[in-house]
Amino acid sequence: MTGRLFVIGTGPGNPDQMTPEAQAAISQATDFYGYGPYLDRLNLRPDQRRHASDNREELDRAAAALRTTLAGSTACVVSGGDPGVFAMAAAVCEAIDNGPDEWRSVDIVVLPGITAMLAVAARIGAPLGHDFCAISLSDNLKPWNIIETRLEMAAKAGFVIALYNPISKARPWQLGKAFELLRGSLPATTPVIFGKAAGRPNELITVRPLGVADAAMADMATCVIIGSAETKVIPRDGKPDLVYTPRFTAGGNR
């Protein structure tokens, strides 16, 4: 009898931001597959098995979980944030699409989670209050020229842009290049939010104008949100500024 495969997100890292649905799935599963630091967020019982792998082994991880489920166990593939946003839900679907026919019989349950851009936005106000998009700066799975084109067109279209995977030791230059490109389409005063480890004890939320935004302020634990030309900063005496994007667009109806 085929088991069930849960695909969950742990949220941005704060245990309080993991959904009750995800917690219930964790209690049911016997085998857990994921990147080691994400599995570290779970409080597993002695009878629950942990299968950690490197962050770049998504398809192998998905295949291993599917094989376990096909044998009758209940498995759980674990992502950070939301499993459908630059995470493991797509890898599981890809594995099924290209794998043996019997994998298509597995009962797949994808459960949503709080993704990084939502956690960062909540800490600073409402920068995603109007139209926005999310772009990964990693060129591991798509060419850099496509990333550049998407950034340029998103900025010109007036989208707020959330940047995932902004920088790493292997990719130290992409975020700086992205800022250079966006300065050609957006005002220098456009707010840029650096949201590091949102919701965790080492959280650091910083806002800089695009004209002086420094890529060195980000790491792989950072989600960068770049406002549109209409995004505003509200100064507040003795309290952090609020950043929001108005719900209406110039020329539109309120």
| 170 shares a domain with 149 | yes
Residue 251 scores a pLDDT above 70: no
HEC-encoded secondary structure of 164-209: ECCCCCCCCCHHHHHHHHHCCCCCCCCEEEEEECCCCCCCEEEEEE
CATH of the domain at 179: 3.30.950.10
Residue entry with tokens 């496509």: 146
- Six-digit token string for 243: 């950043």
Q: Would you place residue 95 in the very low, low, confident or very high pLDDT band (cuts 50, 70, 90)?
A: very high
Domain end position, chosen among 110, 144, 169: 110
Residue entry with tokens 């989600």: 223
Gap between the Cα atoms of 159 and 133, Å rounded: 6
| 134 shares a domain with 206 | yes
Gap between the Cα atoms of 189 and 218, Å rounded: 19
Q: CB-based burial of residue 80 (10 Å sphere; 0-12 exposed, 13-18 middle, 19+ buried)?
A: buried
Domain assignment present for residue 252? The answer is no
| Per-residue model confidence as pLDDT tens digits over 7-65 | 999 999 899 999 999 999 999 999 999 999 999 999 999 999 999 998 789 999 999 99
Domain end position, chosen among 60, 91, 110: 110
Per-residue model confidence (pLDDT) at position 171 = 86
Gap between the Cα atoms of 211 and 180, Å rounded: 9
Gap between the Cα atoms of 184 and 169, Å rounded: 26
Q: Would you place residue 67 in the very low, low, confident or very high pLDDT band (cuts 50, 70, 90)?
A: very high
| 13 shares a domain with 92 | yes
Under 8 Å between Cβ of 228 and 162: no
| 96 shares a domain with 57 | yes
Domain end position, chosen among 77, 110, 143: 110
Gap between the Cα atoms of 103 and 96, Å rounded: 6
| 138 shares a domain with 46 | no
Residue 31, classed as helix, strand or coil, is strand
- Six-digit token string for 252: 């539109």
Task: Work out how many domains the chain is built from and give that number.
Answer: 2
| 123 shares a domain with 45 | no
Under 8 Å between Cβ of 65 and 77: yes
Residue 2 scores a pLDDT above 80: no
Domain assignment present for residue 249? The answer is no
Gap between the Cα atoms of 25 and 8, Å rounded: 8
| 213 shares a domain with 130 | yes
Residue entry with tokens 């990693």: 138
CATH of the domain at 98: 3.40.1010.10
Domain assignment present for residue 35? The answer is yes
| 152 shares a domain with 214 | yes
Per-residue model confidence (pLDDT) at position 1 = 63
Of 246, 239, 10, 248, nearest in space to 123 by CA: 239
Per-residue model confidence (pLDDT) at position 28 = 96
| 14 shares a domain with 50 | yes
Of 150, 153, 157, nearest in space to 130 by CA: 157
- Six-digit token string for 163: 């940047």
| 239 shares a domain with 193 | yes
In which domain, by residue range, is 164 found? 116-244
Domain assignment present for residue 102? The answer is yes
